[in-house]
Amino acid sequence: MTKKLAVTFGWIFIVAGILGLISTPIIGGAPGAFFAADTARTVVNFLSGIIFLWVAYGAPHNSRKTLKVFGIIYLIIAILGFFSSSGTVLGLIATNTADNWVALIFALVCLWAGVSSVPMATQGM
């Protein structure tokens, strides 16, 4: 299950990065965009996607750990985003309310999957 989630999240982040580059009404730097995006957010999306795909395909036994680490990181990002009054997280990446909720949901799913899944070495025993 963790490998499938890592692949799914990897491609979602890659698509989000592409959408951030072309600034659509869904993701972009325009004031009316549903999700905020700037260069830093786009880079974070691409890097997150690359890491998820690299782990899922290259070291699937580490998918569980990767989900836990990303869960913690994105939980921190969500909390900081909710308390930010500047529209950025630590002045580095653009954020808005929709971003914060997605980051929180993503963090909780990652943490749940990382904690509740069975390590790959014990699967099938």
Per-residue confidence (pLDDT) for residue 124, from 0 to 100: 47
Per-residue confidence (pLDDT) for residue 80, from 0 to 100: 93
The answer to whether position 35 is within a domain reads yes
Residues of the chain below pLDDT 70: 120-125
**Residue 78 belongs to what domain range?**
2-116
Q: Which residues contact 93 (CB under 8 A, 6 or more apart)?
A: 38, 40, 41, 44, 77
The answer to whether position 124 is within a domain reads no
The answer to whether position 122 is within a domain reads no
Tally of domains within the chain: 1
The answer to whether position 59 is within a domain reads yes
The answer to whether position 123 is within a domain reads no
Per-residue confidence (pLDDT) for residue 118, from 0 to 100: 73
Full-model pTM:
0.84
Contact 35, 80 (CB under 8 A): no
